[in-house]
Chain A
């Protein structure tokens, strides 16, 4: 175990030395990796902010259950009990036909109903579901429709669905962008490692003659790729962080002008760590493929 650790520490030190030997090349590679990664990272962060904004604005999307006009107090109570036992119902409130009429009159439409002589409005329940999954709303809507004395069910989630669809589209776009740029980063590392293998072929051959195993020869290249990715990840993280800092105040002002409260946030610790881990993984992957491809012949 100690020997294994020593060999890894040595390989890491060797990789750091190689990075430090060519500071300009290292910096440029890190910039390329960092700038490419900052695009999907910023996109992800933007979506994350919009999603949290949407959660705040939509609050709990509502379903309205309009009862039959002949429904009496017993039927209203029965429906209330059924709503109380529904696991996916977060809360509900009863709107009596009298209260509904009052609200209508307050909205200025009282005159329209005045000529009818009696209150045509039904009793209603306004239900909030748990979570914001559009599928849950639709399932509840379908179930409520089957209940007795429920005349009409109205789902007020069309805009939520549209927002979710847009966020889904955004996520797919960010994922695609991340995959494409990630692939590009793998290629960048692949090529860097290829050049390193070419310049170090003498050392590789000598080491082989002296009894170096394949993992011994490969290990420093893996570390190099991983560290180059990590440096790129740090550049990306700094880029995104600076962008958020620069845009936070203008975005907040824009939100206030629309009467809303919104401020850009992130990247937080978890997001930062994920970005660094992802960047390191891409670097390692590029190195692993390159080593497999270019060292195979030398290691036979």
Chain B
């Protein structure tokens, strides 16, 4: 489903973020990507929705080489991925409903069906009935839940999260980790990066460890 083959990412100044990383994630897996800050976790995750392209090597999603994808085709790839970034990246001048609705607006969903999906996604993340609230009035954990609802509203087959619990206290972080587990149990392939691998230890059976751009561990 997700295949990295000898992926190298070199930034200007010859800084090497990834130095020949190879692994495969199969359909329905829950994988945690761990490592210290600067290990290359974010860079690796950015390769999947083509926010970054590899300097060399290949990234394949469902057999398709996305590292050489035309710019015009990238949006259509991203619509099939659920993305949760380190910061919630919500639109603070829009309501919770409008934020979660955005991916459906982008894909041109009929409004009535879209509203049903938004309600279902919010219920899934425990924010039922909070759709008219503004993000600024929510706690950090709730904002991250809104971001997760936005990521799953399009029913993606792959969910990618970059440090989704980075700014949350322990209780909120556990709730978020359990939420990802529930998506995985529903059949979604989940790849989560974290510097706190213990948090996901009993949710994710597989753990990839990055160190200075090199894959130094794979629990498989």
Q: Which residues of B contact A300 (CB under 8 A)?
A: 71
How far apart are the CA atoms of A259 and B110 in the complex, in Å? 68
A3 at the interface (CB under 8 A from B): yes
Interface size class of A (residues with CB under 8 A): 20 to 34
Q: Would you call B75 and A211 a contact (CB within 8 A)?
A: yes
Is B106's CB within 8 Å of the partner chain A? yes
Closest residue of chain B to A209, judged by CB?
Answer: B83
State whether B72 touches A211 (Cβ < 8 A): no
Q: How far is the CA of A211 from the CA of B81 in the complex (A)?
A: 9
In the bound complex, CA of A206 to CA of B51 (Å):
12
**Residue pair A203, B91 in contact (C-beta under 8 Å):** yes
B91 CB contacts on chain A under 8 angstroms: 202-203, 206
Are the C-beta atoms of B107 and A206 separated by less than 8 Å?
no
Main secondary structure of the interface of A (DSSP, over half): helix
Stretch at the interface among A27-35, A89-97, A136-144, A212-220: A212-220
The answer on a CB contact under 8 Å between B103 and A211 is: yes
A6 at the interface (CB under 8 A from B): yes
Q: Is there contact, CB below 8 Å, between A212 and B75?
A: yes
On chain B, the residues within 8 Å of A209 by CB distance are 49, 51, 78, 83, 85, 89
For A203, list chain B residues within 8 Å (CB): 91
B56 to nearest A CB, angstroms?
A: 20
Contact present for A213 and B108 (CB under 8 Å): no
**Neighbouring A residues of B83 by C-beta, 8 Å:** 209-210
State whether the Cβ of A207 lies closer than 8 Å to any Cβ in chain B: yes
Cα of A299 to Cα of B108 in the assembled complex, Å: 20
Q: Point out the residues of chain B lying under 8 angstroms from A298, CB to CB.
A: none
**Which of A4, A203, A206, A214 has the most B CB atoms < 10 Å from its CB?**
A206
With known contacts A211-B76, A212-B75, A214-B72, A206–B89 Cβ distance under 8 A: yes
The answer, among B51, B78, B108, B110, for a CB contact under 8 Å with A210, is B78
A207, B103: Cα distance in complex, Å = 8
Q: Within 8 Å CB of B85, what residues of A? A: 209
Determine whether the beta carbon of B106 is less than 8 Å from that of A216. yes
Known A7-B108, A202-B91; contact A210-B72, beta-carbon cutoff 8 A: no
Q: Closest residue to B107 on the A side, CB-wise?
A: A211
Total contacting residues, chain B, CB less than 8 A: 23
- Tell which of B51, B72, B106, B154 has the most Cβ of chain A within 10 Å: B106
| Complex CA–CA separation, A56 to B198 (angstroms) | 94
Q: Which residues does chain B contribute within 8 Å of A162, judged by CB atoms?
A: none
CB contacts under 8 Å to B, within A175-215, are: 202-203, 205-214
Q: Does B9 touch A at the CB level, under 8 Å?
A: no
Interface status of B105 (Cβ within 8 A of chain A) = yes
> How many angstroms from the CA of A299 to the CA of B71 in the assembled complex?
9
Identify which of residues 47-65 in chain B touch chain A, using a CB-to-CB cut-off of 8 Å. Answer: 49, 51
A10 interfacial contact with B, CB 8 Å: yes
Contact indicator A207/B106 (Cβ below 8 Å): yes
Across the interface, which residues of B come within 8 angstroms of A10, CB to CB?
105
Q: Does B41 belong to the interface (CB within 8 Å)?
A: no
Looking across the interface, which residue of chain B has its beta carbon closest to that of A5?
A: B108
Contact B89 A211 (CB under 8 A): no
Q: Are B72 and A213 in contact (CB under 8 A)?
A: yes
* CB within 8 Å for A210 and B76 given contacts A216-B106, A300-B71: no
- Determine the residue in chain A with the shortest Cβ distance to B153: A210
5 of the cross-chain contacts (CB-CB < 8 Å) are A205-B89, A209-B85, A211-B75, A214-B72, A300-B71
Starting from the known contacts A3-B108, A206-B91, 18 additional A-B residue pairs (CB-CB under 8 Å) come to A7-B108, A10-B105, A205-B89, A206-B89, A207-B102, A207-B106, A208-B75, A209-B49, A209-B78, A209-B83, A209-B85, A210-B150, A211-B79, A211-B154, A212-B106, A214-B72, A299-B71, A300-B71
Residues of B within 8 A of A (CB): 49, 51, 71-72, 75-79, 83, 85, 89-91, 102-103, 105-108, 110, 150, 154
By Cβ-Cβ distance, the 8 closest A-B pairs, closest first, are A211-B79, A211-B78, A3-B108, A211-B75, A213-B75, A210-B103, A212-B106, A206-B89
